[in-house]
Amino acid sequence: MASWKNKMLSLGLSAAMTVSMLASIAGVASAATVTVGAGSYTNTLPAGATGPQSTIYKTSSVTGAVPTNDWWSSLAWKQYSDVMFPHPFGIQAKADGLGVSYPVQSASADAMFGAYSLDFTLGSSASSSFPDTRLDGYSDWTVSMLWNNGGGGTMRVTSGHGVPYLYATYAGGNPKLTFSSTPTVWSGSASSNVLGVTVNGHHYALFGATGTTWSGIGSATLTNNLGGKTYFSVAVLPDNTTATLNAFKTYAYSFITDTQTSYSYNASTSKVTTTYNVTTSAKEGTQTGTIFALYPHQWKNSSNSLLSYTYNSVRGTMKTLSGSSFSTTMTYQGILPYLPAVGSYNASTLNSQIEAVRTEANHTVGATDTYWLGKYLGRIANLLPIAQQAGNSAAVSNFESYLENTLSSNFNASGKSNNLFYYDGNWGTLIGYPASYGSDGELNDHHFHYGYWVRAAAEVARNNPTWASQSNWGGMVNLLIKDFANWDRTDTRFPYLRNFDPYAGHSWASGDSPFADGNNQESSSEAINAWEAMILWGQATGNTTIRDLGISLYTTEVNAINEYWFNTSGTNFKSGYNHNYSSMIWGGKSVYATWFSADPQAIRGINILPVTGASMYLGYNPTYSQSFINQLQTERGNNNWNMWPDIFWEYQALYDATGAIALYNANTGYTPEDGETKAHTYSFLYNMQALGQVDTSVTANVPTYGVFKKGSTRNYVAYNAGTSAITVTFSDGKTLSVPAGQIATSIGSTGSTAPAITSLSPTSGPVGTSVTISGSNFGSTQGSSTVKFGSTTATITSWSASSIVANVPTGLSAGSTNVTVTTSAGTSNTSAFTVTAASSPAISSLSPTSGPVGTSVTISGSNFGSTQGSSTVKFGSTTAAVTSWSASSIVATVPSGLAAGSANVTVTTSAGTSGAAAFTVTAVSGDFSVSITKSGSNAIFTFTPTASGVATTAPIIHFQSTALYGGAQQNVYMNAGSGGTWTYTVTGLSTGNVVKYSFTYNKNGIQQPESAQQTFTF
């Protein structure tokens, strides 16, 4: 159902009352009509209609359609934004800058919060108040905001989902941070460019450009003195250790300039892979990539190596990784356009229920706005194939005509001012009239509304391909899809994926997000209805681009729903929250409530409807599904549902169809939910009784399929949208012949043969050992199959029907264990494996054996373990960043802060620490030489360039001594000497004082990494 701030309509209102509350549109507009195939839309706002506001708070850098329904949408709609939640941050654009928060986590009986509570405001010394904040750029999950005082003072900040950094650039002013109270500075000083601070128990790193200094330490306002530089960044830190600050410093100057997701669907494995890419620009040095913070639906489905840092969020624990990209792989479990007629229902009863709908005076039984008319279209689209199965040709003809005529009429704007679509070129959106729930003025809920329309069009296309051709009405259907899920980045008429948030993994309903809790979505099931519609429309019309995007969005959002709405894993909800389900997800909270009713039936049912052949995901976890209904029954005191009983019976049928049928038979006089019919509910219940529960252990190589298990038998279903017969192959080896345009079943199959292990190689080894398991009946792809060593699941690196390669899992003690393979057909015989005590790692060689800080070193040896996990590499006592790890080879970077000289390299795993391998840290060679002259209590440092283009502007000397400045490192520009040299005098030294020093300089105009730290004794 719609998630709109003013939506208070009960779904139980009469049609007349609903109509009376909708805005009427009267008069005839003089409109410019744009033809699309046989249809058309208008590009002139119809007379009396409401459209979105004309003002868009954006700069000239933003062209084309403007995204809406995003986590940052209020930025474009308002002078200053409402609160936005790019987790792990909470932020708000204000007159004085960007309010920054690490959201405070809490819970009450009916809500979980990750609330914005101001820690500091990131502003500019150029202005204490800016006239507005404007959208200055965006990408798939980031946004750039611009503050401009009109007099040369600007601040531009980029933020994004899963980005623990804020990237800022300045003109005409310096970064000015105003804290809610005086922060504790636990790293750095006034003369260092980087500070570590804590305020309100939250830890941040403040990264000024190299050579910059700070003023205001000890007060609630800190200013970074840029000294001609233009960039600055902030990181929210998981803790307040220097090691963590230094790890985040690695990417602090690697500014994100673009983010982009790409999706791929592999039919043969039924897997959806999503790749998340970032493009970065190095403000200092040459570092690329960033640190990502992943949501639970991402890190649970990613094989990328994770870092040890985590964040708390309202969605659950966010885990981190570093690099320029990561990917997730999820299983697509298939959908069906309708269920096969395999139930033991009474044919006469079903036909009378179909006839009751056929003989209605008007299938559009209430309001005609785009939401309610969409529901009525969906109602008949669900009933049409049932009429075909029942052989009721009169009903089939009636339903087909209703769908075709209703769609065609509304897809024609010629000479009309109502029941048409209008394209707003300012925002880049297609708005249907009559509108409702803010779908016009605020651009709310387009995926909810139009999903029903596309689903109805897909059913027409299944039966009448000519109607659906692009030269007829198919062009208008594609245009509707482009409005809520534009797949073509080059088509700037519409934003890319308006409603779907690629990083959050789910959709947002509010177009303008005018809330203190961020954006929101209530009816996740109506979002799924939109992606189902895309799959079926793409399948019916041969458009695999639309189909495969629909599969990707469906699969991703199903995973997100199970994590954040249903919490089927049990790991994401907070203590103190009293429910096993959240009905509405916000940027800053999750709640047990709806926009329109406090009835727990409404609160739960809104994330079930509409029930279709794509609703099987609601039964992926039958134990959870039963607990969902049990809690509803406890909340109401009984299971005599008096609101949407058919929706709850259908949901129950996914885990207990017989029980659902008993409830149905006890209340056959019920009133159907507005988008339902008694015929659909009746047939659904009995068909599910015959099919059984959803079996997620088996997949198929077509998009439209379902696998079910009833007792010990497996039931297979597949639909063929093509014009010739196909053979569908299931992952357990089952094949099913499906005629063109038909649905086929195999009911009562005992399934495939259980897997059998014939040998292991090797038969013993420590944790991390790669073991080849040979045998039969493993299945051609892994799917949801597993390998276990004892009771511990192993990580798989290769899988085929007769051979699996798995790693001995961590956590196993030395001794004997049994290996088993489990597939959908059962569990194999056991095969003995001996876990041996892990051998300590051993280094055989380093390459190279010397080099400056930043050198990439390959460490060869044995017993490193197949993945890094918590293992480390150290140069001396300093932990190195690792870029690659395998059992016999590690690639690590010589860490910063090391002095020139010997630094032994060691590898530490859970089995122990290796012997040391000698490495020599060298000063940066070839670019410069350094001489130091004593004079009294002074040390005069002379920096002499030895290569062309080096230090054409003043280099920076970084020096530190316990005898000076309280031991704080100093960062100062050197002075011009003679003959192109640069000098700096360190004063106040005594005999025996040790000075550590290094340099930052440019070469051919490019700033070089800080040189290796060296030591001088006075």
**In 10 A of CB 263, how many CB atoms?**
17
φ and ψ at residue 416, rounded to 5 degrees: -125, 160
459 is known as an active-site residue = no
* Distance (Å, whole) CA 957 – CA 1000: 7
522 is known as an active-site residue = yes
For residue 214, the surrounding DSSP H or E stretch is: strand 213-215
* Distance (Å, whole) CA 477 – CA 381: 15
Do strands 850-851 and 920-921 pair parallel, antiparallel, or not at all (unpaired)?
parallel
* Distance (Å, whole) CA 1015 – CA 1011: 12
HSE-CB at 940 with a 13 A cutoff on CA atoms is: 12
* Distance (Å, whole) CA 582 – CA 787: 34
445 is known as an active-site residue = yes
**In 10 A of CB 492, how many CB atoms?**
13
φ and ψ at residue 450, rounded to 5 degrees: -75, -20
The tokens for 54 are 């004309």
Are 883 and 891 spatial neighbours (Cβ–Cβ below 8 Å)? yes
**In 10 A of CB 525, how many CB atoms?**
26
- In the sheet that holds 982-986, the strands lie side by side as 928-935, 938-945, 982-986, 975-976
Q: Which residues, listed in sequence order, are joined to residue 938 by a DSSP beta bridge?
A: 935
CA distances to 167, 703, 745 from 283, rounded to whole Å, are 10, 46, 60
* Distance (Å, whole) CA 863 – CA 861: 7
| Nearest residue to 163 via CA among 110, 84, 223, 218 | 84
Instruction: Write out the DSSP string of 762-784.
Output: SSEE-TT-EEEEEEE---SS-TT
Indicate the residue type of 134: R
φ and ψ at residue 992, rounded to 5 degrees: 95, -15
Which listed residue (284, 522, 557, 563) is catalytic?
522
Which listed residue (119, 512, 526, 673) is catalytic?
526
Q: Name the DSSP class of 158.
A: E
Instruction: Say how far residue 1003 (Cα) sits from the centre of its chain.
Output: 40
* Distance (Å, whole) CA 515 – CA 144: 20
* Distance (Å, whole) CA 567 – CA 932: 64
Count of helices and strands (H, E) across the chain:
15, 68
Contacts of 69 (CB under 8 A, 6+ apart): 443, 444, 446, 498, 499, 507, 508, 509, 510, 511, 513, 519
Contacts of 136 (CB under 8 A, 6+ apart): 58, 59, 61, 62, 144, 145, 146, 156
* DSSP SS3 for 918: coil
The tokens for 826 are 């059962």
Which listed residue (70, 400, 445, 517) is catalytic?
445
Active site amino acids:
445, 522, 526
